[in-house]
Structure 1
Amino acid sequence: MKIATYNINGINGRIENLKRWLAQANPDVVCLQELKCEDKRFPEQALLDAGYHAIWHGQKSWNGVALLSRYGEIQETRRGLDGDPDDTHSRYIEGFINGIVIGCLYLPNGNPFPGPKFDYKLKWIRRLTAHAKKLQGFDLPVALIGDFNIMPTDQDTYKPVKYKDNALFRPEARKLWLELLKLGWTDAIRKLYPDDRIYTFWDYLRNAYDRDAGLRPDHFLLNGNLQSRLKSGGVDKDVRGWDHSSDHAPAWIVID
């Protein structure tokens, strides 16, 4: 079973790129982030034509998450997180697919630091952690997947000193990431590549992609029931180089 994550950065504007990648990579399940479209504008039919059922949680111009599956209709189990009734952002959707609970998330960016956006980011991570703790109580394989907007270690950025005051690399966010992992979650890509610099994002500015000046904010967290089934994983870096590409590349894992 091949599971992928892809911050598409505007699904309708990049639908042809998405369909091209789906046909090339053949993932079984895909977590999409940053849809930037209202629910009624989600390209459901185009994805059905490509062989994927979907559930989605959209928002006009911003945010948005979706789950795609080649296994048929998805049983949705949750959209949004508890803990803040005033939060209207579309950042979390969860479904039951082929025996696995999969939460697709788009964690807040948090920049500029310091400020209210960073405070919101930290609060959102704490809400995610509370939900992740509940998920650990399930006697089921569970994965939390998506754009976490966190670079956990120096390995996850090409130039750590440049990002010392960036919300994705601030020690406050990284500390909360570690607290999340201590609940029993495994960072799948880091488990597979403990010593390598793996990137999933290259800025549009300063020729970052060609210089391989990348970051790793996109992650797969697997619970104990699932991490033992992890076989392989990687990043489809070439997709970032396509015309009209997202600034992220798709990442993927394979489980048995």
Structure 2
Amino acid sequence: MPLNILVPVKRVVDPNVRVRVGANGAIDTNGLKMSLNPFDECALEKALQLREAGHASQVTVITCGQANSQDVLRTALAMGADNAVLLDTGAATATLDSLAVARLLRAYLSAHDAFGLVLCGKQAIDGDTGGVAAMLAGLLGWPQALDASAIETNGSGWRVTCGDDSGTAAWQLDGAAVVSADLRLAEPRRVTLPSIVKAKQKPLATIDAATLGVELAPQSRIVELREPPARQAGVKVADTAALLDALAAHRVFEPAGAVA
């Protein structure tokens, strides 16, 4: 039976833009190009493919932020989403953490019970915490699958293939579920000019987050933000023997970490 898919997205600094930590210890995004989080793009593309295959009837994109977040919602609508929702968090936007976002999404889903799948990116490229999907599933009491590289319908549920450095696993999720997408899940489609024009006519609702009764005070904070250390110059060796000596000197062949 066709269902509705909710795709949470985030507005982030464009991945092609180089960011720097300012004197105040924070990243100043003023004047920087902003875009749709790449992992969320992959999740949205897969949601659209599921709808086009007849497994879903509607795809809704949602984000937490201020009025300037409408640009990424319009991009998602131009990709093919049916409608969009902005949860306006006002001044609290700057300090929103994963738990606050998960609570907002849970509150929205509680008021809109037509959704049978939440499909989101596994992480945002700015914070890289990757906590929203797992937290939302826990709050909802729904099964979850993280870092998905493939998803398909299987009876009344979903068969999801997930993978990380330790290997690949396939999971069966019965009923409504939360799935987070790896970049391998789908290749996002290009947005055309006609689709951008058409997106302006699609519904984009704004909901005051204060009406959802969710506590937005952050439960985590950034202790320090600094530039990565400068990359050291490489070493040129004369032959294979010298290369092996250099590797041995850096102890790269010695095992590290806990013994299995």
Please say whether Structure 1 and Structure 2 have the same fold, judged by a TM-score greater than 0.5. no
TM-score by length of 1: 0.31
Q: Which of the pair has the greater relative contact order for Cα pairs under 8 Å at 6+ separation? A: 2
TM-score by length of 2: 0.30
